[in-house]
Structure 1
Amino acid sequence: MSLARASLAALAVFALAACDGSAAPEAPEPETEAPATPAPAPEAQASGALSLEGEGLRAFTEQGSARALPFGTAQDMTLTAVSTLLGADTPAVTTNSECGAGPMQFAEYPNGLQLAFQDDKFVGWFLDESGLTTADGVGVGSTRTELGSARVVEMIPDSTLGKEFSSGELGGFLTSEAPDATVESLYAGMTCFFR
């Protein structure tokens, strides 16, 4: 990781901590001996570092504290924080001028997470691959039974997009309405669905 990207990543984490209003954890004392076990691979470090929420995303630091990454966060800060937490390169940002809410920008990560932006602010996300989950364990691949056990779910009967459901501020699509149906995608915030 370049020095500039490392500095920007540190700034994003500190800014998220400042938004939370709680004090940042103190830096640990330097170790006098080499660690007994090797550091985990970047993929293992990224695992569980980000969770899905109806109001945005939640970032988890290496110290285990959680910081909200809510809708309305600046685009650059959002991209830096998410890229760092996922251990991924920052994706290219594309524009769709035909969204119902007006022109929107999108950034898609290799794990199927797509972030939506408008007026340089984080306004929504969409996920269509397994891996990331909500804090209560709901993700792509969860069964309808697991979904219903974790949260209150309402099917949207007139959806023209498929077997769509809502659960508070979280939405998504199922493969069918059968009990063994699985979640095929999740979303929250603004979308560019053509209904």
Structure 2
Amino acid sequence: MTIKLLPCALAALGMLAACSPEPKQPAEKKHAANESEIIVPPEANIEANVSNASDEAPGVGVNLAPDELTVVLPNGASRHVSFGTAKADAIRMLAAPLGHPIEQDENQDCGAGPLAYAAFRDGLSLYFEDGKFAGWDLDGRENGKFATGNGIGIGMTRKALEAAAGSIDVGETSIGNEFTAGGVSGLLSALTPEGKVTNLWAGVTCIAR
């Protein structure tokens, strides 16, 4: 017996075919499509974010050197603020561990000529020549907060200074008992072995002689 489909039945079958779902993509293709949507930030952006986070963390310190200051981060990484660094950059980098300068001005009466300076809390001052970081000066207010890589700092005795530096040049000058040790200069309260370091500086500064 031959079955004949009515026109309305044929139309219904056509509608069902049109509404049937399309075959699903294989699982591997779907996974690949999701991976293509992942955005990987440039490496430089990652480093910048880490640096910004480190600047705000407690425990950031500053080390002294004959030709720079080094900002030491809590994770052991360091940033070198070398002589020749632009003034704005040097102040910004030192502001992370020390806070903003308490005074900024220019001294016209320095032996090296006019020098701009930025004074921070705890007795550390930065000097700038022609807009570039050129020297630093540290007085006795810092209470042992800063030191060189070999341990030279305010408050240590001449005996300890000589042990740390290996040898020093010392003598009486117009500003007191002045010494130099490996590119860093300073003053002693006395020339005896018990005399203590009261000031330190390096580079171009405005020491009144």
Flag whether TM exceeds 0.5 (same fold).
Answer: yes
TM-score for both structures, normalised by structure 2: 0.68
- 1:8 equivalent in structure 2: none
- Coordinate RMSD, CA, aligned: 2.4
* Percent identical residues: 32
Q: Aligned-pair distance for 1:123?
A: 0.5
Matched, 1:147 2:161: yes
The one-letter code matched in structure 1 to 2:163 is: S
| Alignment equivalent of 1:137, drawn from 151, 174, 180 | 151
The one-letter code matched in structure 2 to 1:57 is: L
| Alignment equivalent of 2:97, drawn from 78, 85, 88 | 85
SS in 1 for 2:94: helix
| Alignment equivalent of 2:179, drawn from 165, 179, 182 | 165
In structure 2, C-alpha distance between the alignment counterparts of 1:79 and 1:25, rounded to whole Å: 18
In structure 2, C-alpha distance between the alignment counterparts of 1:150 and 1:64, rounded to whole Å: 23
Bigger-Rg structure (1/2): 2
Q: Which has the higher helix share?
A: 2
Q: Aligned-pair distance for 1:158?
A: 5.1
- 1:103 equivalent in structure 2: 114
In structure 1, C-alpha distance between the alignment counterparts of 2:162 and 2:178, rounded to whole Å: 14
Q: Aligned-pair distance for 1:26?
A: 9.3
Matched, 1:179 2:193: yes
In structure 2, C-alpha distance between the alignment counterparts of 1:121 and 1:143, rounded to whole Å: 33
- 2:136 equivalent in structure 1: 125
Structure 1 residues 25 and 82, CA gap change in structure 2 (3 angstroms): closer
The 4+ residue runs of structure 1 with deviation greater than 3 A are: 24-27
Q: Mark the runs of 5 or more structure 1 residues left unpaired by the alignment.
A: 1-13, 15-23, 28-40
Q: Aligned-pair distance for 1:154?
A: 2.6
> In 2, are the aligned partners of 1:172 and 1:184 still within 8 Å (CA)?
yes
* Count of aligned pairs: 157
